[in-house]
Amino acid sequence: MGWHNAGVRIATIGSPANRPGVWAVILILLSAGCVSISPIPTASPRATGVQPSATAPATSGPIQTAQPTNTPGAPPSPGSTATPGVPGTPGPSIDPALAQQIDAVLAQVPAVRELEPLADVPYEFISREQFREDLIELQFEEVPEERLRAEERALKRLNLLPDDSDLLQLLVDLYGGQVAAFYRPDTKRFYIIERDEPFGPGDKIIVAHEYAHALQDQHFDLEDTRVKDLSEGDAALGQLGAIEGDATLTMQLWMLEHLTFQEQIEALLESMGQLNDPTLASMPPVLRRQLEFPYAEGFSFIQELYNSGGFDAVNATLTDAVPASTEQILHPEKYLANELPVAWSLDDRTTVLGDGWTRTYEQTVGELIMQIWAAGGESPPETIPGLPVEWPHAETVAGWGYDRLHMYEHPDGRWAIVWRTQWDTLEDQAEYGQRAQALLGTLDGVAQIRPWPPSGDTAPMEELIVASEEATLGEVALAFEWPT
């Protein structure tokens, strides 16, 4: 649930992590390009053709520079075709000394990532205001506002968003304030958001992350291979976890090899100072979780594969063995065992419901967002931002096999959500059913859940109906053939 990531790669604020014998910094990068500000996987950024890296809030993100005019006769940067940072199109020029620092990072990343560049990658600085405008425009190129508003209503009815929330505004505030840089597959260049701070070690780490996305795109065609079906948000987030996890691993390996210990500490302190950003702290968990997931759990997932099979194993996650769900990212052992979602369709019962009814929303929610739903408003224990989090009651959805959610609405104000879930075992089904039953009172309207026992090759299922009032719930239950 959220908005669809149409190919943008973004990076957000940072957090520390340990590797054997060394301090490392993980700047949580928000990818708004290869991912999707996704549907009921609510707002995973997915802006058309953009791969962003969000590092910091507008007031304190690590990337920014004064933008003096280029010195006449200064050589163009390797990432440019004319003046540094202005590859044949109008835009702010970049100080040659700054371009030299960026170009030095670009020259070092290919050896770290073990991918040779196939083309130059232009880069330029843009204002945060311009980025916010571009983000909204790119978003609606793929996700109509009507669908976004339907998703907002679904999230509120499932108690995942406060009733007074404006989903679009929340997404713009979240991504518009957290992104520090982004790569766009459609333009084949990356963009750095201007800040009133000197260009420092943290900015170099972000550049390494963005250039990793460019190398991914050149070798694996991120735009062509990404999940574009708006009703498959969980699959899009799973794929994004691999893409962002790879870029996060690359930037960390680059940092350990090319920054001094003092520079690593400087970047760490800068990122720690951003962790209390009020915008991030005020976000509903369902949105913040999707922002952090590709960088935190995605990084853990990719690091496990890298430790066992190097970049060959990582490359497979971007080509012929793309993660199919957030479950595979959350539980790498399920990915390694090739445990795939058991995909099936949920019949559209619009014609059965009768005149005026319309199916306005359809989605696969997935284990990641179901963890937030199962928490029922409870918060996880305090942990270092950017590192994987154990959510309360997460074990009740760990046996996820697949799910589909439909929302039906009538012009007279009646509505209903039908959410069918499939579980690996009878024990998993019972555990989820018990937790869902305890949450019925937190949902909007009235709700009822019933189990579907296994039959033949069909695994155990649960079906939850939430409706505007009792009469509608009964009508919808009958349409979906619940026994009376």
Question: Using one digit for the tens of pLDDT, what is the confidence trace for 183-194?
Answer: 998 889 999 998
Q: Which two tokens stand for residue 233?
A: 């948000």
Tell me which H or E stretch contains 470: helix 470-479
Please indicate, yes or no, whether residues 18 and 108 belong to a single structural domain of this protein: yes
What's the CA gap between 56 and 395, in Å, rounded? 32
pLDDT (mean) for 257-261: 95
pLDDT at residue 399, as a whole number: 96
Q: Which two tokens stand for residue 80?
A: 């440019």
pTM of the model: 0.84
pLDDT (mean) for 430-448: 97
What's the CA gap between 440 and 157, in Å, rounded? 11
pLDDT category at 62 given cuts 50, 70, 90 is very low
pLDDT at residue 32, as a whole number: 28
Q: Which two tokens stand for residue 37?
A: 């500000």
The predicted-structure confidence for 309-367, as pLDDT tens digits, reads as follows 999 999 999 999 999 999 999 999 999 999 999 989 999 999 999 999 999 999 999 99
Higher pLDDT, 16 or 249: 249
Please indicate, yes or no, whether residues 225 and 308 belong to a single structural domain of this protein: yes
Task: Using only the alpha carbons of the chain, give its radius of gyration.
Answer: 23
Task: Indicate whether 286 pLDDT > 90.
Answer: yes
Closest by CA position to 24, among listed 170, 182, 205: 205
What's the CA gap between 244 and 240, in Å, rounded? 6
pLDDT at residue 458, as a whole number: 72
Please indicate, yes or no, whether residues 362 and 231 belong to a single structural domain of this protein: no
Residue 323 lies in a domain: no
Q: Which two tokens stand for residue 102?
A: 């960026």
Which of the listed residues 316, 331, 360 is the one where a domain comes to its end? 316
Domain of 360 in residue numbering reads as 350-479
C-alpha 241, offset from chain centre: 7
pLDDT (mean) for 105-134: 93
Please indicate, yes or no, whether residues 233 and 282 belong to a single structural domain of this protein: yes
Residue 335 lies in a domain: no
Please indicate, yes or no, whether residues 265 and 400 belong to a single structural domain of this protein: no
Please indicate, yes or no, whether residues 311 and 357 belong to a single structural domain of this protein: no
What's the CA gap between 42 and 300, in Å, rounded? 22
pLDDT at residue 37, as a whole number: 30
Which of the listed residues 295, 316, 337 is the one where a domain comes to its end? 316
What's the CA gap between 171 and 205, in Å, rounded? 25
Contact (Cβ atoms closer than 8 angstroms) between residue 341 and residue 330? no
Task: Indicate the Cα dihedral angle 105, 258, 244, 226, nearest 10°.
Answer: 40
What does the DSSP assignment read for 118-165? SS---EEEE-HHHHHHHHHHHHHHHS-HHHHHHHHHHHHHTTSS-TT-
Please give the share of the chain, as a percent, with pLDDT higher than 70. Answer: 78
User: Phi and psi dihedrals of 238, rounded to 5?
Assistant: -65, -45
Please indicate, yes or no, whether residues 201 and 273 belong to a single structural domain of this protein: yes
pLDDT (mean) for 267-293: 82
Question: Tokens 């995909």 map to which residue?
Answer: 343
Task: Indicate whether 226 pLDDT > 60.
Answer: yes
pLDDT at residue 44, as a whole number: 37
What's the CA gap between 293 and 287, in Å, rounded? 10
Contact (Cβ atoms closer than 8 angstroms) between residue 238 and residue 325? yes
> For strand 415-423 and strand 446-452, is the pairing parallel, antiparallel, or unpaired?
unpaired
Task: Indicate whether 105 pLDDT > 90.
Answer: yes
Residue 332 lies in a domain: no
Please indicate, yes or no, whether residues 86 and 175 belong to a single structural domain of this protein: yes
Instruction: Lowest mean pLDDT of 47-61, 140-154, 178-192, 380-394, name the range.
Output: 47-61
pLDDT category at 4 given cuts 50, 70, 90 is very low
Which of the listed residues 294, 316, 338 is the one where a domain comes to its end? 316
Please indicate, yes or no, whether residues 264 and 136 belong to a single structural domain of this protein: yes
pLDDT at residue 484, as a whole number: 61
pLDDT at residue 14, as a whole number: 31
Q: What is the dihedral sign for C-alpha 220, 221, 223, 228? A: negative
pLDDT at residue 180, as a whole number: 87
Please indicate, yes or no, whether residues 78 and 176 belong to a single structural domain of this protein: yes
Give the bridge partners for 123, in sequence order.
190
pLDDT at residue 117, as a whole number: 96
Task: Indicate whether 68 pLDDT > 80.
Answer: no
Closest by CA position to 68, among listed 91, 101, 96: 96
Give the bridge partners for 338, in sequence order.
none
pLDDT category at 240 given cuts 50, 70, 90 is very high
What's the CA gap between 273 and 432, in Å, rounded? 39
Task: Indicate whether 225 pLDDT > 80.
Answer: yes
pLDDT (mean) for 165-183: 88
Higher pLDDT, 50 or 116: 116
Q: What is the dihedral sign for C-alpha 341, 385, 203, 264? A: negative
pLDDT at residue 220, as a whole number: 96
Question: For the chain, how many structural domains are there in total?
Answer: 2
pLDDT category at 379 given cuts 50, 70, 90 is confident
pLDDT at residue 140, as a whole number: 75
What's the CA gap between 170 and 165, in Å, rounded? 8
Task: Indicate whether 43 pLDDT > 90.
Answer: no
pLDDT category at 84 given cuts 50, 70, 90 is very low
Task: Indicate whether 405 pLDDT > 60.
Answer: yes
pLDDT at residue 135, as a whole number: 82
